[in-house]
Amino acid sequence: MQVITTVAGVREAVRAWRKEGLTVGLVPTMGYLHEGHASLVKAAKADCDRVVVSVFVNPTQFGPNEDLQSYPRDLAHDEALLESLGADVLFYPAVDEMYAPNAATWVTVEGLTAGLCGKTRPTHFRGVCTVVSKLMNIVMPDKAFFGQKDAQQLAVIRRMVRDLNMNVEVVGCPIVREADGLAKSSRNTYLSPTEREAALVLSRAVFKGEELVRAGAATPLAVVEAMKKIIEAEPAARIDYVEAVDAESIEPVNTFEHDVLFAMAVYIGKTRLIDNFIAKAR
Ligand code: AMP
């Protein structure tokens, strides 16, 4: 595996692969990699001849009072994991390699970014869409792999790729969980042992929601109410949102006519965690 820190270096590697007629997969990450990220890399390996994994803690997707400075980083661990998974390039650019000091261009997706995480994090998706667009332009992959864990992000990226005619297929991959249900996240490392226990309310609410949907719940709202009840019973948890939205448009819904995304963000102490599931249209 090559570790490349420059845009020119990645372009050169990809150009050589293209000459050989090889296909290229891209897995964008912020590092501190876990099995959730590994599942994306494995999906990319299975689907593409060569795989580029970017590790970049993207400052533009953090709000002013968020965890940019404290975001966990461990390049040696990430490098060893990616090597073992057979990734071909680890792209690890510095901030000034990705952003010129006078960068003035943003990619914004409207509508779908207004609700859910966009409410609490109003500049987040602008940062995500801008950096993902840049990575697409740098790597020009055939396919790019994203986790369903960040369901709104996946919907936003799908829309951006379609709207801007980006020549890439977006592949969504299922949520990977810890044995006890907690969705894997780099931010889980912020949790104290008691908070780690309390954090199980998120997955418990997801599992309860899935069960109610399976049992034929009358409305999405009834499911949301039951999920909220579970979370509210945990004193260490503070709900940011628990909502049912159209999985594609991210508009609030109260029928099962289209696929429904049940999504939540919950603070456990100071740590904001997200989880979700999708109920298929019926
Ligand atoms: P991050 O490093 O948190 O920005 O995540 C990079 C990519 O990994 C995103 O597409 C995430 O949705 C995906 N991802 C993170 N955690 C998980 C998980 N537990 N299961 C599946 N995908 C995940």
CATH code: domain of residue 150? 3.40.50.620
Nearest CA to ligand 1 atom 11: 147
Residue 178 inside a domain? The answer is: no
Structural domain total, the chain: 2
37 belongs to the catalytic site: yes
Residues 8 and 79 placed together within one structural domain of the fold = yes
Phi and psi angles of residue 103, each rounded to the nearest 5 degrees, phi first: -55, 135
Residue 150 Cα to ligand 1 midpoint, Å, equals 7
CA distance 58 to 95: 8
Residue 11 inside a domain? The answer is: yes
Phi and psi angles of residue 191, each rounded to the nearest 5 degrees, phi first: -80, 135
Work out the pLDDT band at 223, boundaries 50, 70, 90: very high
Render pLDDT for 128-142 as a digit per residue (tens, 0 to 9): 999 999 999 999 999
Q: Which residue from 27, 37, 56, 146 has its CB within 8 A of the most atoms of ligand 1, so it is best to mutate?
A: 37
Residues 241 and 165 placed together within one structural domain of the fold = no
Nearest CA to ligand 1 atom 6: 29
pLDDT score of 18: 98
% of residues, the chain, pLDDT over 90: 100
Nearest CA to ligand 1 atom 13: 147
pLDDT score of 104: 98
Beta-carbon-side half-sphere exposure of residue 178 (alpha carbons within 13 Å): 17
Render pLDDT for 154-163 as a digit per residue (tens, 0 to 9): 999 999 999 9
Of ligand 1's atoms, which has the minimum distance to the CA of residue 184?
A: 19
Please give the model's pTM, rounded to 2 decimal places. Answer: 0.98
Instruction: Match 């332009």 to its residue by tokens.
Output: 137
Question: Under DSSP, is residue 49 helix (H, G, I), strand (E, B) or coil?
Answer: coil
Strand order across the 89-91 sheet: 2-4, 89-91, 50-55, 24-29, 143-147, 169-173
pLDDT score of 72: 98
| Average pLDDT value for residue range 26-38 | 98
Residues 43 and 146 placed together within one structural domain of the fold = yes
State which of 113, 146, 173 marks the end of a domain.
173
Render pLDDT for 11-22 as a digit per residue (tens, 0 to 9): 999 999 999 999
Render pLDDT for 81-140 as a digit per residue (tens, 0 to 9): 999 999 999 999 999 999 999 999 999 999 999 999 999 999 999 999 999 999 999 999
42 lines ligand 1 (CB under 6 A): no
Residue 101 inside a domain? The answer is: yes
* In 41-156, beta strands by DSSP E: 50-55, 89-91, 143-147
Residues 132 and 15 placed together within one structural domain of the fold = yes
149 lines ligand 1 (CB under 6 A): yes
Residues 18 and 150 placed together within one structural domain of the fold = yes
Render pLDDT for 169-219 as a digit per residue (tens, 0 to 9): 999 999 999 999 999 999 999 999 999 999 999 999 999 999 999 999 999
Residues 40 and 135 placed together within one structural domain of the fold = yes
CA distance 37 to 31: 9
Residues 17 and 105 placed together within one structural domain of the fold = yes
State which of 173, 201, 218 marks the end of a domain.
173
Instruction: Match 């298929």 to its residue by tokens.
Output: 280
CATH code: domain of residue 201? 3.30.1300.10
Instruction: Match 């990450």 to its residue by tokens.
Output: 29
Domain that holds residue 135: 2-173
Q: Find all residues with CB under 8 Å of 42, minimum gap 6, and list them.
A: 85
CA distance 115 to 49: 37
Residue 20 Cα to ligand 1 midpoint, Å, equals 30
